[in-house]
């Protein structure tokens, strides 16, 4: 489903964080929107991702919502 040339897969909020900080990350509350995150194990569900043609490695790092998300890059 997704191209092998795709570097990563992200939601809109993740994209904004990435553009501002250069860091690919998502908090636990946002992962639930993907329907591919196991909230009990706190990790991406490989079976669902595989079915959708998405690699686990292409998903953003999952972080707690309270953790600071980024340092804004100078280039912005």
- Burial class of 11 by CB neighbour count within 10 A (0 to 12, 13 to 18, 19+): middle
Q: What integer pLDDT is reported at residue 42 of this predicted model?
A: 92
Torsional class of 72: left (φ above 0), alpha (ψ -120 to 50), beta (otherwise): beta
Q: What integer pLDDT is reported at residue 46 of this predicted model?
A: 94
CA 19 to each of CA 5, 15, 22, 70, 73: distance values in angstroms, whole numbers, following the listed order: 19, 6, 6, 10, 9
Sign of CA dihedral 31, 32, 37, 40: positive
Q: List per-residue pLDDT tens for the chain, 76 residues long.
A: 565 677 777 788 888 888 888 888 888 888 888 899 999 999 999 999 999 888 888 888 898 877 565 667 766 5
């Amino acid at each position: 489903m997704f191209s092998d040339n795709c570097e990563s897969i992200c939601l809109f909020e993740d994209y904004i964080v990435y553009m501002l900080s250069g860091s690919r990350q998502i908090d636990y509350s946002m992962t639930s929107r993907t329907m591919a995150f196991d909230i009990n194990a706190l990790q991406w569900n490989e079976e669902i991702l595989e079915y959708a043609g998405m690699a686990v490695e292409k998903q953003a790092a999952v972080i707690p919502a309270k953790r600071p998300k980024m340092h804004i890059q100078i280039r912005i």
